[in-house]
Structure 1
Amino acid sequence: MKDKLLEAWSKMLSKLDHWFDSIILALPNFIIAIIVFTFVLFLSKQINKLVLKLLDRSSMQRSMKNLISKLVSAIVIIVGLFIVLGILNLDKALNTVLAGAGVLGLAVGLALQGALANFYSGVVLSYIHFFKYGDWIESNGYEGEITNIDLRSVTLKQSDNNLVYIPNKMVVDSPIKNYSTTAQSRVILTCGVHYDSDLKFVRDLVVKTIVERFDAVTSKQEVLFMYNEFADSSINFETRFWIKSTSALEVAKAKSEAIIAIKAEFDANDINIPFPIRTLDFPEGFLGGNTQNEVSAQRPSNE
């Protein structure tokens, strides 16, 4: 038993010596591999900057430029990995990995369907021209300025300065309202006036107020004014006009300014904006008649 233990111990020491010799022999290659991979990482960053600089001269979207530069950088790193594996004499291991890449790729593809869908959608969003950095859009119930488009999500900066990250697939599959595709935006304002108001005077006053308040409106013909409803307490109207802005926030500000200006003009001209009320109209003597009947009913009969 003792001889067997000594023999096993001797074999283990011999194995350790062989491993140590292998490590010593492979140490220069390992150091060279580290140096090469570090250089590859540095080179990929420099190539990324160079590609971006070259693409800045083109008319491509910023998101597309970022995508191309990242792909070129990734290709450089993959080539560097192949070189490092060759230096470490792991060519056979590499062939084994490549042989199993087909099955592994299928499994990974099934497991990462959502990520791959977002990746493909990110490529699509980076390519289309009506969807770019700085645009003010509305999608999936969120509204804001596009501040970033990557391979996973679209980043929107809302009017309250909060950031919203929407997965690319949801943006591609949903309707997109882009406020920045035109040079102007329309402001739509609704209000109501009392039934006793002079409707022609109200119309002229509102149109005049908007023309004087907003520089983008140069004539009365550019203001659309329409009465559209006989409501319970008021005659409602709608007015529309254009402003030079592509931001929904600027539209909201213009609407607020129009409300303030129109209210001030209405107050100055004694035009009433009624609120919902309910009027009870009793016939003359209705309350008095009921009272007399009630009193007569309560009197005892002398007959």
Structure 2
Amino acid sequence: MVVFWPLLVQLGWFLAGFLAVVLIGWLLVQPVLGRIVRRRNRNNPTLQAAVVLYFRLVVVLVGTLVGLAVAGYGEFLSDSALVISAVALAVGIAAREVIGSLVSGVALVLDPEFNVGDHIEWNDGEGTVQSIALRITRVETADGELVTIPNTILTAHEITRPYGRGNHRIVQKLGVGYGNDLDDVLHHLTDVAGETKGILADPSPTAYVDELGGDGVSIRVHYWITDPTRRDVFAIRSAYARAVKDRLEAEGIDVSPPAERELSGQIRLRDPSERD
């Protein structure tokens, strides 16, 4: 028993240091961190679980190092600093992409403008954010596909949020023939917008002559909807386009006239039996 006493004392000190760090981390720090993450991403349990998991791993690692130092192995750790540094460097090089994704994930978590439920556009596509983990973000596309994107891609390139931040302006274009009264056309377009459910009266809808094309006049219509989702935008655009088509056809206004071209030239026919 006397022989093992020093080892038991060291083990006791190790456990004391280890448990002190783990208990402080898990019982005091983790609840605060959990509340911050839940407040930041209420609808993302994936992220909440990931943050807690990684935090616990860090606490266990720190607790182990503190326990070894308290048990009297601090000199051993300092003597092995070169070996530990070499191992850390090798691991860092091998896992640089994963580590980069983790750092990018933390950046996305801390970004107040990036949340679950946002509709985003990036270089390779667009969709609605379903979950944000520390390494990857999952986005649902318009086709219902679930795309897994490394966080390094989202932090390295521009991300656009076309709507979902208060009132949103929608721009629609259409063409009419040159024979129509443009003032009358613009009046009908704004009048239909005012009658379409979901389109705001303030700011009021407006219509402009955008361009004089070779086949007709291009007109641009601006109107606003309130705090939309992607589905709202598509539904209101569709409802407005259908109402405009019905109104203009009822008024005898030519919408998107077919292209007409006048061709001139000569056609020469030759008998295949004749030789040049």
With structure 2 as the length reference, what TM-score do the two structures score?
0.71
The CA deviation at 1:209 is 0.4
Q: What is the aligned partner in structure 2 of residue 61 from structure 1?
A: 40
Once the two structures are superposed, the pairs formed by residues 101-180 of structure 1 within 5 Å of their partners are 101-180=84-163
Deviation at 1:155, TM superposition (A): 1.1
Work out whether residues 153 and 166 of structure 1, in 8 Å CA contact, stay in contact via their aligned partners in 2.
yes
Report the counterpart of residue 227 of structure 1 in structure 2.
209
If you compute each CA radius of gyration, which structure gives the higher value, 1 or 2?
A: 1
Aligned mate of 2:219, from 237, 253, 259: 237
Q: 1:270 aligns with which of 216, 237, 252?
A: 252
How far the C-alpha of 1:71 sits from its partner, in A, is 3.6
**C-alpha separation in 1, matches of 2:163 and 2:256:** 37
Report the secondary structure of 2:254's partner residue. Answer: coil
TM-score by structure 1 length? 0.66
Pair 1:261 & 2:243 matched: yes
**Partner Cα separation in structure 2 for residue 280 and residue 139 of structure 1:** 43
* Structure 2 SS opposite 1:178: coil
Query: What CA distance in whole angstroms lies between the structure 2 residues aligned with 1:59 and 1:68?
Result: 10
Once the two structures are TM-superposed, the CA of residue 97 in structure 1 deviates from its matched residue by: 7.5
CA separation in 2, counterparts of 1:228 and 1:255?
19
Shift of 1:251: 1.7
1:138 & 1:252 partners in 2: Cα distance?
16
What is the alpha-carbon root mean square deviation over aligned residues?
A: 3.8
Q: Residue 99 of structure 1: CA displacement? A: 6.0
Whole-Å separation in 2 of the counterparts to 1:152 and 1:143: 19
Q: Does structure 1 retain, via aligned residues, the 8 Å contact 2:130–2:140?
A: yes
Provide closer, same or farther for how the CA distance between residues 133 and 115 of structure 1 changes in structure 2, counting only shifts above 3 A.
Answer: same
Identity of aligned residues (%): 21
More helix per residue: 1
Change (3 A) 1:57 1:80: closer
C-alpha displacement of 1:76 = 4.5
Report the counterpart of residue 167 of structure 2 in structure 1: 184
Distance 1:68 1:257 in 2: 43
Aligned AA (1:242): W
Alpha-carbon distance in 1 for matches of 2:36, 2:98 = 31
Residue 63 of structure 2 is aligned to residue 74 of structure 1: no
Matches of 1:173 and 1:191, distance apart in 2: 37
Q: Distance in 2 between matches of 1:277 and 1:179?
A: 33
